[in-house]
Structure 1
C-alpha cells in the first residue's frame, strides 16, 4: 500500500455520512470550495465506479485529510478503512491529517470508550475470528488520529470558519 507523491486534491474529507453529511460536512465542503480549495468528498464518485479503489486513490493523491470523528464514525467499516489508509499515507508520504472531533470526546476516540467501544465490539463480533486483525488495525488508527492536534467542536463554536481560515493560510504559505 504505497501513497502516491502526485497530488491531485488539496483535501480528502473522511466522515460518517449519517452523522454529519447534511450539516457540518456539507458546510465545510462548501466553504472550502468557495475558497477554491480542491476537496475530495464521496459524492465525487461516479455511479458504477468501484468504491474502494477510487477512495484509496483519492486519499493517496491528497495533500491533507480532514477526519470528522463523530459519534458513529467507528460503526462504519468504510470510515475505519479510510482512516487506516489515511494514517498509512501520513507515515509513508507525510499526508497532513487534521482530526475534527464533532460532538464527540477525543478521549472516547483515543481509548475506544463510549460509542466507539460499542461499535468496535459489534464489528468484532460480526467479523468473526478470521478478520479480527482488522479491528486491531482500526483501534490503532483511532488512537493515532486522536493523539494528533485537531479541533473539538464542543470547544470551537465556529469550527468551519476557523478551519477554513487555517487552510487558506496554509494555501497562501504554499502548504497546498
Structure 2
C-alpha cells in the first residue's frame, strides 16, 4: 500500500501526474501578477507538495518563448492560468495557452481582478487579444 491508502498497482491510475516532471504549470502575465498573487499561489502549492513550474525569467518584448518553457508545459499534468487584465495582450501567454490546449492538459483558469464574462464574451481588455 502507498502512503495514501491505495495499492501501489493502482497508484499510477489515481495519480497520473507521477509520470510528469511537474504537477502544475503556472501561466501568468509576469508584470501583472508575478510579485504578488502568483508568488503566493506558487509558494502555497509547493508547501502542499504540488510540483509547480513557474517561469522566473521576465520575457522582454521581442524575445521568443524559450523552448524550455514549452517543454515544461508538455511535461506537466495540468496548468493554472492566472488571467489578469493584460494576460491576453501577451503573445507568450497566448502561446502557452495554445500549447496547453494542444496537449489536452487540464486547465484551471484563475480570474485575477477580471470579470470572467469579459473573457467569455471578449469584452473590455479581451476584445482584441483572444
Alignment TM-score > 0.5, same fold: yes
Structure 1 residues 42-57: aligned runs within 5 Å: 42-43=55-56, 51-57=65-71
2:46 pairs with 29, 33, 36, which one? 33
Query: What's the CA shift for 1:44?
Result: 7.2
Shift of 1:66: 0.2
Moved over 3 A (4+): none
2:72 matches 1:68? no
Aligned to 1:102: 112
Alignment of 1:1-40 (within 5 A): 6-40=19-53
In the alignment, is the contact (CA less than 8 A) between 2:25 and 2:53 conserved in 1?
A: yes
TM-score if structure 1 supplies the norm length? 0.57
TM-score normalised by length of structure 2: 0.76
1:37, CA displacement in angstroms?
1.2
Equivalent in the alignment of 1:166:
none
Q: Do the aligned residues in 1 keep the contact of 2:65 with 2:92 (CA within 8 Å)?
A: no
- Secondary structure, aligned partner of 1:99: strand
CA distance in 2: counterparts of 1:64 and 1:38, whole angstroms: 11
Give the distance between the partners of 1:44 and 1:19, measured in 2 at CA: 14
Equivalences, count: 107
Measure how far apart 1:52 and its partner are: 2.8
The match for 2:92 among 49, 56, 78 is 78
Could you tell me which runs of 5 or more consecutive residues in structure 1 were left unpaired when the two chains were aligned: 1-5, 121-138, 140-176
Mark the runs of 5 or more structure 2 residues left unpaired by the alignment: 1-18, 59-63
